[in-house]
Amino acid sequence: MNDPMYAVAVKSEELANKVLSSGRNVLMCTSDEAVYYDIPSRKKIHISEKNTDCFFDDLDIAEYVPDKGVYKVYQANSIENALVLSDKCNSSCVMCPYSDHYRRNAGVVCPEQVLKLINYIVTYPEHLTITGGEPTLIGEDIFDILELLKEKIPKTEYLFLTNGRTFSDREYFERMIDVLPPYTCFGIPIYGDSPQSHDKITRADGSFVQAVQGIQNLMNAGIAVEIRIVVSRLNCDNLSNIARFILKYLNKAFTVNFVGLEMCGNAARNRDLVWMDYPETFSFMKEAVNILCENNIRVGIYNFPLCSVEKGYWHLCKNSISGYKIVYYDECEKCEVKELCGGIFRSTFLLEKPEVKPVN
């Protein structure tokens, strides 16, 4: 298989020359063609006759895979960029938006490629998500990756999405905090208030004990942790107990977010076990939200359309669905709060067609 090669996208000769002089490959995008300038081989490769200048902006990063084409892997003017460090996972959540089949057969992410990609970031991103699968499964190389990010773009806000289990290992944890960029927040899911209730959802024995220990290690070191409670039929009647558990054992959480389902992958396969319509889900969440708010824990509600949430809780709702995944219904056009509403996942719309109620 041909290894991917990176290039900085540019639209002018002037910028191309600047990027080339920094030792980085260039993808020159014009209205007629895209040309890839590969510095090591001094080759100029004509990629496409098509109009790529509307697809790439200056300083985006393109990945060129010989015989396949070019893909955008980093968007210079976006706050939704992500570094995927592993597509595999050591848990197997019943409502994961990826399927077990995908996780099992996912290729291994090459750490050298990740380091190369980071070196192609020539803008200063406000926000960057580190994610997977479970990103820590990339192994020891994660320390080099974090160290490079800390050295190159230390002021970026990082969101590190993980199941938190690896951070229960004290030695690993100590090595990680040494190289961690300063503005990093960890997003870690808790699905239950006990090993039984959490592990039946992750389908990984020991995952609750490890995740809680990992979160406590992070919090005790003064590192921000966002706890994510993905709400499904499997834990809807346990949410208040989870809130009380958080108050008792994880009360240094930076924030607790209640997360609605993205109905694809395992979630779609297990839809009879997990799916509940949004208003019903909200009715189960309400007491847990109140418990946390009353105890001064910051709370967010992710992935819920506004019309499924009581108006008094709208200020907690976040526009959390990535732009390319959002769907609005035709009736949303007559909704007075469409501008504020984060919409619905495309996959959930296609599978469940949840009812929406335009707000007047």
The residues binding ligand SF4 (CB under 6 A) are 305-307, 328-329, 332, 335, 337-338, 341, 356-359
Residue 163, token pair as written in the block: 């199941």
CB of 316: closest distance to ligand SF4 in angstroms? 15
State the Cα–Cα distance between residues 126 and 157, nearest whole angstrom. Answer: 6
DSSP class of residue 109? P
DSSP class of residue 330? G
CB of 280: closest distance to ligand SF4 in angstroms? 15
CB of 283: closest distance to ligand SF4 in angstroms? 17
CB of 350: closest distance to ligand SF4 in angstroms? 15
State the Cα–Cα distance between residues 271 and 283, nearest whole angstrom. Answer: 19
DSSP class of residue 45? E
CB of 309: closest distance to ligand SF4 in angstroms? 9
DSSP class of residue 88? -
Minimum CB distance to ligand SF4 smaller for 128 or for 344:
344
Minimum CB distance to ligand SF4 smaller for 249 or for 328:
328
Length of the chain: 360
- At residue 43, φ and ψ (nearest 5 deg) are -95, 150
E-assigned strand segments in 16-150? 26-29, 34-38, 43-48, 61-65, 69-74, 82-84, 127-131
* C-alpha closest to that of 154 among 120, 126, 188: 126
DSSP class of residue 154? T
Minimum CB distance to ligand SF4 smaller for 25 or for 281:
281
CB of 97: closest distance to ligand SF4 in angstroms? 20
State the Cα–Cα distance between residues 82 and 67, nearest whole angstrom. Answer: 25
CB of 63: closest distance to ligand SF4 in angstroms? 34
E-assigned strand segments in the chain? 5-10, 26-29, 34-38, 43-48, 61-65, 69-74, 82-84, 127-131, 157-161, 184-189, 224-230, 255-259, 299-302, 317-318, 326-327, 344-345
* C-alpha closest to that of 344 among 315, 285, 302, 304: 304
State the Cα–Cα distance between residues 215 and 77, nearest whole angstrom. Answer: 32
Minimum CB distance to ligand SF4 smaller for 195 or for 279:
279
Minimum CB distance to ligand SF4 smaller for 268 or for 335:
335
CB of 327: closest distance to ligand SF4 in angstroms? 9
DSSP class of residue 306? G
Minimum CB distance to ligand SF4 smaller for 111 or for 279:
279
Minimum CB distance to ligand SF4 smaller for 167 or for 278:
278
Minimum CB distance to ligand SF4 smaller for 272 or for 330:
330
